[in-house]
Amino acid sequence: MTIAFNKPTFIGHEKTHVLSAMQSAKLSGDGDFSNKCQAWFETKLNCNKALLTPSATAALEMVAILIDIQAGDEVIMPSYTFVSTANAFVLRGATIVFVDIDPFTMNIDSNLIESAITANTKAIVVVHYAGVSCDMDTIMQFANANNIYVIEDAAQGMMSTYKSKALGSIGHFGVYSFHETKNYTSGGEGGLLIINSAEFVEDAEIIREKGTNRSQFFRGQVDKYTWVSLGSSYLPCELQAAYLYAQLEHAESINQNRLITWNTYLQSLSNLKLNQSIQLQHIPTYCKHNAHMFYLKLHNIEQRTQFINYLKLHDIMAVFHYIPLHSSPAGKKYGRFHGTDKYTTQESEKLVRIPIFYNMQYSQIQKIIQTIFNFF
Ligand SMILES: *Cc1c(COP(=O)(O)O)cnc(C)c1O
């Protein structure tokens, strides 16, 4: 039996909630389950507003509209990220300024941000890779000193913290993803927009409701609703919210389950690290992570290819990750790399992710560890 790289989180209670949503008279967005999910996040994150969206991509697109990105605006971010981090802002006309990463975390190197800031810089998008926090104090300090928005792409970061603060609750905005590859899912696709400044809440509700003031209408704040600004359809349906709510009710045990697997990997593979054969993940002391990912770094791309092939031969699916955006056709067209690419390309070619998902069997974990030892 092949060990998949990922298996979507499923605990069982999703069935009851989804069925009850199906049998209710309200299938479209912002019904009972959506409200329950949003209230859960607002309490947990202590944010001004949490809005469910169809995806993290959609939440990022909402942010680009909210901060009024215009042609010529520059947005700083790492090149080592998923396309949506950049694409959402390019859709509104932004130029992307890629900054090199810190090889220990694969996150944007906070010390390189200041020199990338120009008169056109409108925002910094940080990516908490593998659910491991960026150096947020330094980043917030540069941003506040220069009147620049900070958006946390915490698509992988639900349940992780930076100095005890939830990821996504530190910048002006944060986004989570509930895609099936993430720690929690709303049934395959889904996301969350986290708003940490009260001034954006009303506009966000309008953008999410096709550019209408429908949310205010439902609260009785206006007596009819109408088209008031730019917007689109950024609400997931109730079935997605119901699916997600079941997982929020068990958020802590899902997180603990993943962490046990992650820590088993770390302990077992530490011997390899001592032999200097490989590098393991580095978790800064300011971060508590969510075991979203377990990766190793090998010597180079050739060794990595051999490693992936060897594991596949033994029915284990291991995968590499992002092709740096600045080397992609669209990345070249819509962005530029600031400074030198010292680590982004080099480190991305060494990195390989091994299977980790909710409820992995002990025998699966042991087989993977043994196979990795055999490879070396
Ligand atoms: C998964 C992911 C996204 C996209 O999430 P969707 O919900 O699929 O849109 C964006 N950024 C990062 C860093 C991701 O890992």
The string of DSSP codes covering 107-150 is: SB-GGGHHHH--TTEEEEEEE-GGGPPP-HHHHHHHHHHTT-EE
Is 8 within a domain? no
Is 29 within a domain? yes
On the CB side of 143, CA atoms within 13 Å amount to: 24
Closest-lying ligand 1 atom to the alpha carbon of residue 58? 9
pLDDT digits over 64-123, tens only? 999 999 999 999 999 999 999 999 999 999 999 999 999 999 999 999 999 999 999 999
Is 316 within a domain? yes
User: What is the pLDDT confidence band of residue 278, given thresholds at 50, 70 and 90?
Assistant: confident
Average pLDDT over residues 123-139: 98
Strand 335-337 to 95-99 pairing: parallel
Does 276 have pLDDT greater than 80?
no
DSSP β-bridge partners for residue 376: none
Any residues with Cβ below 6 Å from ligand 1, and which? 55-57, 81-82, 84-85, 127, 153, 155-156, 177, 179, 191
Q: For residue 10, count other CB atoms closer than 10 A to its CB.
A: 17
Query: Which of 203, 230, 248 is a domain's end point?
Result: 248
Is 7 within a domain? no
Among 82, 234, 322, name the best residue to mutate to test ligand 1's pocket (greatest count of ligand atoms within 8 A of Cβ): 82
Do 181 and 40 share a domain, yes or no?
yes
Q: Which of 39-48, 243-252, 277-286, 314-323 has the lowest mean pLDDT?
A: 277-286
Domain count, the chain: 2
- 307 C-alpha to ligand 1 centroid (Å): 26
Do 352 and 208 share a domain, yes or no?
no
Does 274 have pLDDT greater than 90?
no
Does 309 have pLDDT greater than 80?
yes
* Rounded Cα distance, 60 and 222, in Å: 28
Closest-lying ligand 1 atom to the alpha carbon of residue 189? 7
Do 181 and 234 share a domain, yes or no?
yes
| Burial annotation 102-137 (CB, 10 A radius, 16+ → b, else e) | bbebbbbbbebbeebbeeebbbbbbbbbbbbbbbbe
Closest-lying ligand 1 atom to the alpha carbon of residue 128? 13
Query: Which of 229, 248, 267 is a domain's end point?
Result: 248
Mean pLDDT, the chain, as a whole number?
A: 97
Is 1 within a domain? no
Is 272 within a domain? yes
pLDDT digits over 147-170, tens only? 999 999 999 999 999 999 999 999
- 272 C-alpha to ligand 1 centroid (Å): 31
Q: 264 in helix, strand or coil?
A: helix
pLDDT digits over 164-204, tens only? 999 999 999 999 999 999 999 999 999 999 999 999 999 99
Do 100 and 154 share a domain, yes or no?
yes
Which residue range forms the structural domain that includes residue 41?
A: 14-248
- 156 C-alpha to ligand 1 centroid (Å): 7
The proportion of the chain whose per-residue pLDDT surpasses 90, expressed as a percent, equals 94
Strand 49-53 to 191-195 pairing: antiparallel
Is 335 within a domain? yes
Do 299 and 189 share a domain, yes or no?
no
Among protein residues, the one with the nearest Cα to ligand 1's atom 2 is 155
* Rounded Cα distance, 145 and 129, in Å: 25
Q: Say which CATH number the domain at 282 has.
A: 3.90.1150.10
The pLDDT assigned to 277 comes to 77
- 112 C-alpha to ligand 1 centroid (Å): 24
Is 2 within a domain? no
DSSP β-bridge partners for residue 174: 152, 194
Do 213 and 297 share a domain, yes or no?
no
User: Do residues 6 and 357 touch, judged by C-beta distance below 8 A?
Assistant: yes
Q: Say which CATH number the domain at 154 has.
A: 3.40.640.10
Among 84, 186, 293, name the best residue to mutate to test ligand 1's pocket (greatest count of ligand atoms within 8 A of Cβ): 84
Nearest to 177 by CA among 65, 9, 30: 9
Does 214 have pLDDT greater than 80?
yes
Q: Going by C-beta distance under 8 Å and a sequence separation of 6 or more, which residues neighbour residue 128?
A: 107, 134, 152, 153, 154, 156, 157, 160, 167
- 127 C-alpha to ligand 1 centroid (Å): 10
Do 237 and 347 share a domain, yes or no?
no
Query: Which of 248, 267, 297 is a domain's end point?
Result: 248
Do 85 and 177 share a domain, yes or no?
yes
Among 51, 53, 57, 105, name the best residue to mutate to test ligand 1's pocket (greatest count of ligand atoms within 8 A of Cβ): 57
Do 256 and 111 share a domain, yes or no?
no
Closest-lying ligand 1 atom to the alpha carbon of residue 59? 9
The pLDDT assigned to 275 comes to 72
Do 181 and 141 share a domain, yes or no?
yes
Do 235 and 297 share a domain, yes or no?
no
- 41 C-alpha to ligand 1 centroid (Å): 18
Amino acid at 180: E
- 177 C-alpha to ligand 1 centroid (Å): 6
User: What is the pLDDT confidence band of residue 273, given thresholds at 50, 70 and 90?
Assistant: confident
Does 334 have pLDDT greater than 90?
yes
- 115 C-alpha to ligand 1 centroid (Å): 27
Do 235 and 282 share a domain, yes or no?
no
User: What is the pLDDT confidence band of residue 272, given thresholds at 50, 70 and 90?
Assistant: confident
